[in-house]
A and B are shown apart, each in its own frame.
Chain A
């Protein structure tokens, strides 16, 4: 059962971020999604969008980023896709979270947050696009 859906196609430009987060926030409100799952999904889109724009198009070419959000039963489904260079963020090593403050490096922190806060995550390279599929439990 799919009762609410959001389907966005955006250029790979960080100037889109403010409008994107507003669109997602409006969707979450309209779909009656609780604060915690809404926050977690917002964070996933934010981190993936930044990573895709910052690292996916090193030659500076124009690209297209797709964001689909669906509420299905008791889960939120996110499909995040981009036509940037192939990259599986979930294959990267987890950041060092136990080091002392002075040695602490926070590279990979965004992906670590996302994979920890979602219920399931998967990556595939499909039709020259990086496709990430995530689910989030709806319970607050």
Chain B
């Protein structure tokens, strides 16, 4: 179960993901991100993401490579402690900037 919204905040494209990112829902995010412009500044707002597995991490990694390959920037924000733990343990925290909230991310990234 997943719900994805795209919001444009100035020069930053925010993709808000709500629900669970597992092997059954991750392809939907992958498809959504593949259809988005990859250049520019992308923020994945995970404030309402309650769960992520390695399948979800793979999609985040793939999107990060795509955006950086096009010269853009990708960051995430709003991780609940359990999702943050998965980012830490996977080593993703050292690869992808993590902001506490959308407001904090937009203030930093603008």
In angstroms, Cα B58 to Cα A47, docked, is 13
A139 at the interface (CB under 8 A from B): no
The reply to whether A109 and B57 form a contact with Cβ atoms under 8 Å apart is: yes
Q: Which one of A40, A42, A112 lies within 8 Å of B90 (CB-CB)?
A: A112
How near does chain B come to A138, taking the closest CB pair, in angstroms? Answer: 15
In angstroms, Cα B97 to Cα A9, docked, is 41
Mind listing 26 A-B residue pairs with CB under 8 Å? A14-B24, A18-B24, A21-B22, A35-B81, A35-B82, A36-B82, A39-B82, A40-B82, A43-B51, A43-B86, A46-B22, A47-B54, A50-B23, A101-B68, A101-B95, A102-B65, A104-B61, A106-B61, A109-B57, A109-B58, A110-B54, A112-B89, A113-B53, A113-B90, A117-B85, A117-B89
Interface size on A, residues (CB 8 A): 25
Q: Mark B51-76, 1 if CB is under 8 A from A, else 0.
A: 10111011001001100100000000
How near does chain B come to A140, taking the closest CB pair, in angstroms? Answer: 9
The 4 nearest A-B residue pairs measured at CB: A97-B91, A110-B54, A39-B82, A109-B54
State whether A46 and B23 are in contact (beta carbons under 8 Å apart), knowing that A18-B1, A36-B82 are contacts in the complex. Answer: yes
Residues in B neighbouring A97, C-beta threshold 8 A: 90-91
Interface size on B, residues (CB 8 A): 23
In angstroms, Cα B51 to Cα A40, docked, is 10
How near does chain A come to B42, taking the closest CB pair, in angstroms? Answer: 15
How near does chain A come to B18, taking the closest CB pair, in angstroms? Answer: 16
The reply to whether A36 and B81 form a contact with Cβ atoms under 8 Å apart is: yes
The reply to whether B95 and A104 form a contact with Cβ atoms under 8 Å apart is: yes
The reply to whether B89 and A113 form a contact with Cβ atoms under 8 Å apart is: yes
Beyond the given pairs A21-B20, A43-B51, 10 more chain A to chain B contacts, judged by CB atoms under 8 angstroms and listed by A's residue number, are: A14-B23, A17-B22, A40-B82, A47-B53, A47-B54, A98-B91, A113-B53, A113-B54, A116-B89, A117-B85
Closest partner residue, chain B, to A22 (CB atom): B1
In angstroms, Cα B20 to Cα A39, docked, is 11
In angstroms, Cα B23 to Cα A50, docked, is 8
Residues in B neighbouring A35, C-beta threshold 8 A: 81-82
Q: Mark A12-51, 1 if CB is under 8 A from B, else 0.
A: 0010011001000000000000011001101100110010
Closest partner residue, chain A, to B25 (CB atom): A18
In angstroms, Cα B81 to Cα A91, docked, is 29
The reply to whether A46 and B53 form a contact with Cβ atoms under 8 Å apart is: yes
